[in-house]
C-alpha cells in the first residue's frame, strides 16, 4: 500500500504545479456556471411548479458541479495512460514490482484530486457570497451534509473505477479514440453533467438511476440540495458502494488478463 500512496503523492504534487491553468479553469467555470444558472432561471420563471427540483437546489447543484468538476468530468481523462498503452511504453510499468491496475488507479485519483483542490475553494467561497438568486445555498442540515461528504468520496471513487475500466479496455483495442468518444458522451449525459437527472422523464430516470453513471456526481450534489431524503439517500449510497465494488472487480480482472496476453511492439 505504501508504494501506491507514494505514487499518489508524487502525482498529486505534480498536479498542484499547474496553478495558472487552475486560474484559467476557475474563470471558465464561473462563466459557465453563470450561463447555466441564467438559462435555468428563465425556465423556472415560466412555471417553477413543473420542475422536480427547487431553483435553490438547482443553483447549489450547478455551483457544486463547477467546484468539483475535476472529480467527475468525463473529458478529464489521463491521455498519457492511453498513449502508454498505445505506443507500448506500458512495458516499463509492467516491469515494476507493482500491480498495474493499482498504479494506474492511484495516478488517476491523484490527477483528479489535485485539480479539484486548486479550484474548489475559490469557487465555493465566491458562490456563497453572490447575490440572490445566484447564491449557493447551505446544506439542508447536518445529516444531509454528512451524507453529502460520504457520497462525494464514493462518487469520486466510482468515477475513478469506471475510467479505470475504460483504460483497461484500451488494452483490447487498436485505438482508444472510439472508447473515449462513446464513454465520455455516456458519462457526461447520464451522470447529470448536462442536466440534473431528476429532469429526465420518469420512466427513463428509473432506469438511469440504477446505472453506474448515476453513482457519480448525481448522488452527492442532489443530497446537498435536499433533493434526496432518508431512505432514498441510503439507497443511493448503497448503489454507489455496489458499483464501486463491481467496477473495481471487473476492471482488475480484465487488467490481469491483459497483462498475461498483452503484445508490445509486435512482441
263 vs 56: CA distance, rounded Å: 53
- Residue 267 pLDDT > 80: no
* Residue-range definition of the domain harbouring residue 214: 2-261
Q: What is the pLDDT of residue 239?
A: 95
Burial class (CB in 10 A: 0-12, 13-18, 19+), 234: exposed
Which residues contact residue 72 at a Cβ distance below 8 angstroms, ignoring those fewer than 6 apart? 65, 155, 156, 159, 191, 193, 216, 217
Per-residue pLDDT band for 94 (boundaries 50, 70, 90) equals: confident
Kindly tell me the sign of the dihedral angle through the C-alpha atoms of 217, 76, 65, 123.
positive
In a domain, residue 78? The reply is yes
Mean pLDDT of the chain: 86
Which has more confidence, 56 or 259? 56
The reply to whether 266 falls in a domain is no
Q: Is residue 181 part of a domain?
A: yes
Q: What is the mean pLDDT of residues 131-159?
A: 91
Residue 165 pLDDT exceeds 50: yes
Residue with the bigger pLDDT between 12 and 162: it is 162
210 found inside a domain = yes
Total of domains in the chain = 1
The pLDDT value recorded for residue 225 is 85
What mean pLDDT comes out for the span 232-250?
95
Residue 68 lies in a domain: yes
Higher pLDDT, 227 or 263: 227
Q: Is residue 145 domain-resident? A: yes
Q: Is 267 a domain residue? A: no
Which has the minimum average pLDDT: 67-76, 87-96, 101-110?
87-96
Alpha helices in 47-198 (DSSP H): 55-67, 69-72, 79-87, 90-94, 100-128, 142-169, 177-190
CB 59 within 8 A of CB 137: yes
Percentage of the residues of the chain whose pLDDT score is greater than 90 = 33
What mean pLDDT do residues 123-138 have?
Answer: 89
Span 1-41, pLDDT tens digits = 777 888 788 888 887 887 787 888 888 889 899 999 999 89
Average pLDDT over residues 188-200: 90
Q: What are the cell numbers at 72?
A: 467527475
211: confidence class by pLDDT, cuts 50, 70, 90: very high
Q: Is residue 19 part of a domain?
A: yes
Amino acid at each position: 500500500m505504501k508504494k501506491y500512496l507514494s505514487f499518489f503523492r508524487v502525482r498529486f504534487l505534480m498536479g498542484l504545479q499547474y496553478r495558472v491553468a487552475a486560474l484559467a479553469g476557475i474563470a471558465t467555470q464561473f462563466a459557465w456556471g453563470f450561463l447555466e444558472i441564467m438559462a435555468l432561471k428563465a425556465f423556472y420563471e415560466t412555471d417553477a411548479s413543473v420542475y422536480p427540483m427547487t431553483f435553490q437546489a438547482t443553483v447549489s447543484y450547478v455551483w457544486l458541479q463547477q467546484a468539483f468538476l475535476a472529480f467527475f468530468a468525463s473529458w478529464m481523462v489521463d491521455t498519457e495512460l492511453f498513449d502508454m498503452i498505445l505506443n507500448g511504453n506500458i512495458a516499463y510499468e509492467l516491469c515494476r514490482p507493482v500491480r498495474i491496475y493499482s498504479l494506474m488507479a492511484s495516478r488517476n485519483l491523484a490527477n483528479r484530486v489535485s485539480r479539484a483542490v486548486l479550484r474548489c475553494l475559490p469557487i465555493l467561497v465566491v458562490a456563497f457570497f453572490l447575490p440572490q438568486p445566484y447564491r449557493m445555498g447551505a446544506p439542508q442540515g447536518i445529516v444531509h451534509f454528512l451524507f453529502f461528504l460520504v457520497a462525494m468520496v464514493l462518487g469520486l471513487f466510482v468515477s475513478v473505477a469506471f475510467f479505470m475500466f475504460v483504460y483497461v479496455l484500451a488494452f483490447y483495442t487498436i485505438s482508444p479514440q472510439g472508447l473515449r468518444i462513446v464513454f465520455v458522451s455516456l458519462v457526461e449525459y447520464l451522470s447529470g453533467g448536462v442536466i440534473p437527472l431528476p429532469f429526465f422523464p420518469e420512466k427513463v430516470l428509473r432506469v438511469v438511476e440504477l446505472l453506474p453513471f448515476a453513482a457519480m456526481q448525481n448522488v452527492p450534489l442532489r443530497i446537498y440540495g435536499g433533493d434526496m431524503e432518508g431512505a432514498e439517500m441510503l439507497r443511493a449510497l448503497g448503489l454507489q458502494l455496489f458499483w464501486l465494488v463491481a467496477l473495481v472487480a471487473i476492471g482488475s480482472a480484465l487488467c490481469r488478463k491483459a497483462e498475461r496476453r498483452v503484445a508490445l511492439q509486435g512482441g
